[in-house]
Amino acid sequence: MVSTEEEGLVRPMQAVFPLGCTTALNPGVEVDSTGSVASLCTPWEADLYGCSEPCNWPASVPDSMTYPEWNQGTSNGEADWRSLGQIYPDK
C-alpha cells in the first residue's frame, strides 16, 4: 500500500499492474480496474489467453503454469474458447 498523504488516503499500489485484462474474479463478467470494459483486450477472447499466462494478477481464468492442460490444443482463441477446460477445486 502507498500512502498518499496529500489526499489523506491510502489506496492500493498500482505500479506494474497493467491496463487491460480484468480485475474482477467473476467468470464471464469481466470488467477493468475502472469498472468498465474500455481497457479490456479486444477481441475479448485474447484476455483468456493473455491473462492466464503470466498469472501475476487476478483474472477470471486459471493460470497456465499451475494448470498447463487448461488451454492445450486451443490455439485459435476466437473459435476455440468454448473448448477451454474447466478447473474445479481439489476434493
Partner 1 sequence: MRSVNRLTAWLIALWMLCAGAATPSFAKEYVLVGSYGNKLYLIDPVAAKIARTFQVPGAGTGPSYIAPSPDSRVAYAVTNRFNSVSGIDLDSGKEVFRADLAQGDVRVHAMFGLDVSPDGKWLYVVEQRYRLLSDRFEVVDPVIAVYRTDAGAEAKPTRLIPIKHQIQHLAVSTDGKTLYAHGLDLYAIDAATGKLRDTMPVANWKRDGYGPAEAFAWLGEQLNSSGVYAMDFYTDRLGQGSPDSPVRDLGVLSANLKTGAMTMEIIGPASEAPDLTGMTVNPRNPNEVIGIGGSLVKIDRRAKRVIARGPTNGLLFYMGVVSADGQRIYTGGGHCRVGIYATKDLSPLGLVELPNCAVMGMSSVRVVNRP
Q: By the criterion CB under 8 A, which residues form the site for partner 1?
A: 2, 4, 6-7, 9, 11, 13-20, 34, 38-43, 45-46, 49-50, 53-54, 56, 64-65, 68, 71-72, 74-79
CB of 91 to partner 1, least distance (A): 19
Query: From CA 58, how far away is CA 23, in angstroms rounded?
Result: 6
Q: Dihedrals φ, ψ of 63, to 5°?
A: -80, 140
Quick one: 7 or 89, whose CB is closer to partner 1?
7
For the purposes of burial, counting CB atoms within 10 Å of the CB of 4, is it exposed (0-12), middle (13-18) or buried (19 or more)?
Answer: exposed
CB of 17 to partner 1, least distance (A): 7
Catalytic residues: 47
